[in-house]
Amino acid sequence: MIFKQVFDQKSSTYTYLIASSKGREALIIDPVLENVGEYIKLLKELNLKLVKVIDTHIHADHVTGASKLKDVTKCSTIMGDHTPAESVEIKVKDDEYINLDNLKVKAMYTPGHTSDSYSFLMDNYLFSGDTLLINGTGRTDFQNGSSKDAYNSIFNKLLKLPDETLLYPAHDYKGEKVSTIGKEKKQNPRLQVNSVDEYVDIMNNLNLKKPAEIETNVFRNINLGAWDRISF
């Protein structure tokens, strides 16, 4: 397997490239529009063919590069079946598998940060989107977010995975690149709660500023980042 992690400085977003070393087919998770050129260069350097691109949810802090990657590479676009993005080609369901040569990626519906949030599991690699972060969890105060749903997704799904499962989130703001489920259980301050009500209380009192340009970003991301596919 080939695995690359690319960081976007402006939005603190991690994008992931996964490929089969056998058939050279690749997929990209959570691409950022401004970095599409970098992804294309990386694909060429590694002699890979991009066949699928996944967004874990409709992002609010950056514009997805899914549409641009599709235009350039003719890859398929994938999101979970709760997405409001009508132009996405493949909508996967909870527990459905995405095939990539000899690799299998499992879709896991993990609402809470947003109502359409999905995580993706490949072997012991968990790509958690904004649901579970390193030493944190995704905010739940916009885009039909729900702290109760987030608690259920995290405690009753993601934390049920083996402790050695590697955690790769869509964001990090302190330079961390990877964690494990076991480490997050012990050290993540948001997870040191005894009930769903305690977790909801924490999330309801974060008092975070909304992401800059949230309305524009969400609007564009519902169209996979493409202005020319937006109807007024």
pTM confidence score? 0.95
Q: Which domains does the chain have, with CATH numbers?
A: 2-229 (3.60.15.10)
Count of other CB atoms within 10 angstroms of residue 46: 14
Rounded Cα distance between 1 and 151, Å, is 32
Dist. CA 127–CA 121, nearest whole Å: 6
Query: What CA–CA distance (Å, rounded) separates 26 from 2?
Result: 9
List, for residues 83-125, the tens digit of each pLDDT value.
999 999 999 999 999 999 999 999 999 999 999 999 999 999 9
| Percentage of the residues of the chain whose pLDDT score is greater than 90 | 93
Q: What is the pLDDT along the chain (232 residues), one digit of tens a residue?
A: 999 999 999 999 999 999 999 899 999 999 999 999 999 999 999 999 999 999 999 999 999 999 999 999 999 999 999 999 999 999 999 999 999 999 999 999 999 999 999 999 999 999 999 999 999 999 999 999 999 999 999 999 999 999 999 999 999 999 999 999 999 999 999 999 999 999 999 999 999 998 888 999 999 999 998 755 433 2
Distance CA 164, CA 171 (A): 20
Instruction: Tell me the DSSP string of 14-56.
Output: EEEEEE-TTT-EEEEES-BGGGHHHHHHHHHHTT-EEEEEE-S
Tell me the torsion sign for CA atoms 199, 205, 211, 216: positive
Spatial contact of 103 and 22, defined as CB atoms under 8 Å apart? no
